[in-house]
Every structure is written in C-alpha cells, then in structure tokens.
C-alpha cells in the first residue's frame, strides 16, 4: 500500500496542488463548503422523511416486516410536510445559492467586493430564469434544485469575472470620503451591476425567441445525448452518473430518462416474472430472461452510500485521514451516508471539482459494476426480483432486492470493502495535497489572483 501511495503522490501531488490553487476550481470548492450547512440540514430531513417517518408499502421499515395501521401511517406522513418545507429551503434551492457562494468565493480570490459579486450572481441567475409554470407567473422548482446546479456554477463564475473586469478598469461611481462606507459601497457596484445584468437580460430576451432559456440549454446539452444510449444504458448510467456529479451536476436527476424510462421498468419486468413463475429458476426453465441492469441492482451493489460509493470514502477517511476537518466532515456525513444520501460528503469534503478525488470517484462505479456483473454471470447472486427502498443500508438493500439472498448481502459488503481500498490511497494523497496548498500560498499566488 505504501508503494501505491508513493506512486500516486509522485504523479498526482504536483497536479493536485496546481489545480487546487486555480482560482475557478478553488472558488467552486470554497463555494460548496460554504453551502455545507444547507446541504447537511437538508440531507438530515430527507433521511428523517424517507426512513424514520416512512412505514408504508415499499419503505425501509415495511421491508423489515414492521406493520403499522393506516391511521398511524397517515399521521406520520403528515409530519413529512415539516421536512419537505426544510428541503425546499435547503437542497431545494441549491441552484440558487450556488451562484451566490461561488461568485462570492471567486470575488474573494480576485480581491474585489465578494458580497456585491454574490448578490449580482443571484440576480443574474434569476434574470435568465423563466417565470412561467403553466398559466401562472411563477418560478418552477426544477430551476432552483440540485438538477440545475451546473447552471448556477457557470453563472457564479461568469458574473464574478465580469464584475472583476469592470472594477479593474475603475468603471465605478466614486463618492467622497464623507459618505458612509455602506452607501459608497452600494454605489460602487451600480455600474458593474447595470452592465452585468444588462448582458444577462439580453441573453434571456434573445433565448425566448427560440422558446427556450439558459437553464434548459444547459440541461438539454447534458441529458438529451445520454438518453439515446439505450443499448449501453447500464454502463452509460454507471460512468456518467459520477462523472456528472464531479462537475456539480446532479447525476441521478440528469439521467432520469435512463432511470425512470429504462432501468426501473426493467426492474418491474423482473418482479413480474418472479411473481408469475414463483422463482428465478422456474422462470429461466420456462425460457424467460431477467434484466441485469435493473435500477435496484445499482442501489444494492454500486451506489453504496450514494453516487460514487461514497460510504467507502467515509470509511477510508476514518481509517487513513489525519486531517481534523476531513474527519469531521466524515462524521457528519456518516448517518446520511448509511442510508444512501451523500450530499454532505459531496459538498462538504468536497468531492466536486476535487482533482485528487476525480480518479476514484469516477472509476469506482465501473469497478463495482464489473465485480457485480461477474458475480451475476457466475451465478453467485440472483437477479433483482424486488423493489426495496433506495434508502436501504448497504447489504440490506441487496438482501431484500434479491428476496433474501445471503450471497447478495455478502457481495454488497465485499463491494463496500473494495470501495474502501480504492479510496484509501487517494485520501492520503488528498491530505498531503491540502497541507501543501495551505502552506505554500505566497505573494505570487495573491498577485496571480489579482490578474484578470
């Protein structure tokens, strides 16, 4: 292991340090770190709603054999409105908050007014957002949540750079020293704000003539090409899910067409076959075939702790990390990670735009898929014949989705162990890279940040 870590350090450490100092990458990383209170709070309430308040058919406790009367279930469901409201105010507005914090973080890198850049980023985001939901004059929730976060990232970076460009050329209103600082600050952002929002206003106006909008173009450029990859849908989902997440795009939502349109129906076909013939063997004997790439298979054996098998990363941090901040993030992310919710580790470490984590985060899913496919081909694990909730902890999900296969449980735990081993050397490299970055910030770095 020490040789592996040494080789990775030799190759990755200089690259990681260089990328880690790049202003735009740093701004995205710092922006998501500042978003962490929102993501943690939202993830906790998602966990409460989807696990601890869910006792109906298909829920975690229902799969464990817990049965409550309908009246009690209805009462518990009524409390979900609390968590739903918190979700709307946290994870439900991630795309709106991302431009504020990323724009602010890049402005800090460029040594200009961060608050003004952050506010202008939010204003620009809303300027290109359509105010139309059916017949109503309103903003659709789909533009504000995690599925549109890449749009917010782009706008935050662009606005901060435009703001820097204008400020560097001193295109500002300067008031006398006798004017209070807060008033002077507001007027200094007036001309930059007018120019920046004019640009985004023109973009929004122009796109309406093609009956589209900025956010839709960004989303379509990602989702539509992937939805056409039917013949290789499983591998496409496994590869692009984590790749999109690395760049800040909600991979599962961007690939909804593959999930809801193809892989979930395949799971339902498997279940129908199982119920019709009574067993997998009987169905195969009758000449029927089961789908391997059913969505619960991914939840059971590949998305362990969420996209990128991040439960393995959390365990690897506990084993190999000596940084107090990384270990604290892992502690906070563990409860939700056990139940397949991984926004706290994605945005808290963060994994997004983290050059050291790119290799394990993107490669771990194909590796686990290959192991699972091999186990399936050799007859070690049966096909998916049940639809357990996606919040099932690692091992239990495989057990219930296979209608009680002990082998399935052990393969899932084996995959978790593989993910820990894959992440472990990169955790060590990430520790050293961040330490070098913290120690090496120099006057030259500050001067470089001041350049446009």
| 116 vs 8, more confident | 116
Q: For residue 230, what pLDDT is reported? A: 47
Q: What is the mean pLDDT of the chain?
A: 84
| pLDDT tens figures, 75-95 | 999 999 998 899 889 888 888
At 214, list the tokens.
């900025």
Higher pLDDT, 257 or 156: 156
Confidence bin at 303 (pLDDT 50/70/90): very high
pLDDT digits 0-9 by tens, 392-404: 899 998 998 888 8
Please classify residue 111 by burial: count the beta carbons closer than 10 Å to its beta carbon, then call 0-12 exposed, 13-18 middle and 19+ buried. middle
**Percent of all residues in the chain with a pLDDT value above 70, rounded to a whole number:** 85
Phi-psi group of 170: left, alpha or beta (phi > 0 → left; psi -120 to 50 → alpha; rest → beta): left
100/114 Cα distance (integer angstroms): 9
Q: Which of 420, 216, 189, 210 is nearest to 304 (CA)?
A: 420
101-110, 182-191, 409-418: range with lowest mean pLDDT: 182-191
| CA pair distance 131, 430, nearest whole angstrom | 43
323 DSSP 8-state letter: -
Structure tokens at 9: 């350090």
Residue 369, H or E segment? helix 355-377
CB 93 within 8 A of CB 146: no
Residues 6+ apart with CB under 8 A from 268: 387
Could you give the CA distance from residue 279 to residue 277 in angstroms, rounded to a whole number?
Answer: 6
Q: Kindly state the tokens that stand for 169.
A: 């050329």
Q: What pLDDT does residue 450 have?
A: 46
**pLDDT reading at 242 higher than 50:** yes
Closest CA to 289 of 264, 272, 303: 272
User: For residues 327 and 356, which has the higher predicted lDDT (pLDDT)?
Assistant: 327
DSSP for 93-122?
GHHHHHHHHHHHHHHHHHTS-HHHHHHHHH
Rounded to the nearest 10 degrees, the angle between the axes of helix 23-34 and helix 36-47 is 50
Q: Compute the average pLDDT of residues 177-184.
A: 68
The predicted pLDDT at position 412 comes to 96
pLDDT higher for 254 or 419?
A: 419
The residue among 168, 230, 234, 127 whose CA lies nearest residue 452 is 168
Report d(CA 80, CA 60) in Å as an integer: 15
Say if residue 183's pLDDT is above 80. Answer: no
Long-range pairs for 222-230 at CB < 8 Å and ≥24 separation? 222/150, 222/249, 222/254, 223/254, 223/255, 223/256, 223/257, 226/254, 226/255, 226/257, 226/258, 227/255, 227/257, 227/258, 227/261, 229/258, 230/262
How many angstroms separate the CA atoms of 262 and 235, rounded?
A: 13
Handedness of CA 120, 109, 95, 228 (dihedral sign): positive
- pLDDT higher than threshold 80 for residue 125: yes
pLDDT band at 25 (very low <50, low <70, confident <90, very high): confident
- Listed in sequence order, the residues at least 6 apart from 136 whose beta carbon sits closer than 8 Å to its beta carbon are none
Identity of the highest mean pLDDT range in 2-6, 13-17, 279-283, 297-301: 297-301
**Per-residue DSSP letter, 257:** H
State how far the Cα of 153 lies from the Cα of 226, in Å rounded to an integer: 21
Rounded (10°) CA dihedral 426, 428, 431, 432? -100
**Phi/psi at 42 (5° precision):** -65, -45
Instruction: Give pLDDT, residue 197.
Output: 96
| Tokens representing residue 12 in the block | 């990755």
pLDDT in tens, 331-383: 999 998 999 888 889 888 888 878 888 889 999 999 999 999 999 999 999 99
Rg of the chain (C-alpha set): 24
CA atoms within 13 A on the CB side of 154: 13
What separation in angstroms does the CA of 413 have from each of 80, 302, 375, 406?
Answer: 31, 11, 13, 11
């Amino acid at each position: 292991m020490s040789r592996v870590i040494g080789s990775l350090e030799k190759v990755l450490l200089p690259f990681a340090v260089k990328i880690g100092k790049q202003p735009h990458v740093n701004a995205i990383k710092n922006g998501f770190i500042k978003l962490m209170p929102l993501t943690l709070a939202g993830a906790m309430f998602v966990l409460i709603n989807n696990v601890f308040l869910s006792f109906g058919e298909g829920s975690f406790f229902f799969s464990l054999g817990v049965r409550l009367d309908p009246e009690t279930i209805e009462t518990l469901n009524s409390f979900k409105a609390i968590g739903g409201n918190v979700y709307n105010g946290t994870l439900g507005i991630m795309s709106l908050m991302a431009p504020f914090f990323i724009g602010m973080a890049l402005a800090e890198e460029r040594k200009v007014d961060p608050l003004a850049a952050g506010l202008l980023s939010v204003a620009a985001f809303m300027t290109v957002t359509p105010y139309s939901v059916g017949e109503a004059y309103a903003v659709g929730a789909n533009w504000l949540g995690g599925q549109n976060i890449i749009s917010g990232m782009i706008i935050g970076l662009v606005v901060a750079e435009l703001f820097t460009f204008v400020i560097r050329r001193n295109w500002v209103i300067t008031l006398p020293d006798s004017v209070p600082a807060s008033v002077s600050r507001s007027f200094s952002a007036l001309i930059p704000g007018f120019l920046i929002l004019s640009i985004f206003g023109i973009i929004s106006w122009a796109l309406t003539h093609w009956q589209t909008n900025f956010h839709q173009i960004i989303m379509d450029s990602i989702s539509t090409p992937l939805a056409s990859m039917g013949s290789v849908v499983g591998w496409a989902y496994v590869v692009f899910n984590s790749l999109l997440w690395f760049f800040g795009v909600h991979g599962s939502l961007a690939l909804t067409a593959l999930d809801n349109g193809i892989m979930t129906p395949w799971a339902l076909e498997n279940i129908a076959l199982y119920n019709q013939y009574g067993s997998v063997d009987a169905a195969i004997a009758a000449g029927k075939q089961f789908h391997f790439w059913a969505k619960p298979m991914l939840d059971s054996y590949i998305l362990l702790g969420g996209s990128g098998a991040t439960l393995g990363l959390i365990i690897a941090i506990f084993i190999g990390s000596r940084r107090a901040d990384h270990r604290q993030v892992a502690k906070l992310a563990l409860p939700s990670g056990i139940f397949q919710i991984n926004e706290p580790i994605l945005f808290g470490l963060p994994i997004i735009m983290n050059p050291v984590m790119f290799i394990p985060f993107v490669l771990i899913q194909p590796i686990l898929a290959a192991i699972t496919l091999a186990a399936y081909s050799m007859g070690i694990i049966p096909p998916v014949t049940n639809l357990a909730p996606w919040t099932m902890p690692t091992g239990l999900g495989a057990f219930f989705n296979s209608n009680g296969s002990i082998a399935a449980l052990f393969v899932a735990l084996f995959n978790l162990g593989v993910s820990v081993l894959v992440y472990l050397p990169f955790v060590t490299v990430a520790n050293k890279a961040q330490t070098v970055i913290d120690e090496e910030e120099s006057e030259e770095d500050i001067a470089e940040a001041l350049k446009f």
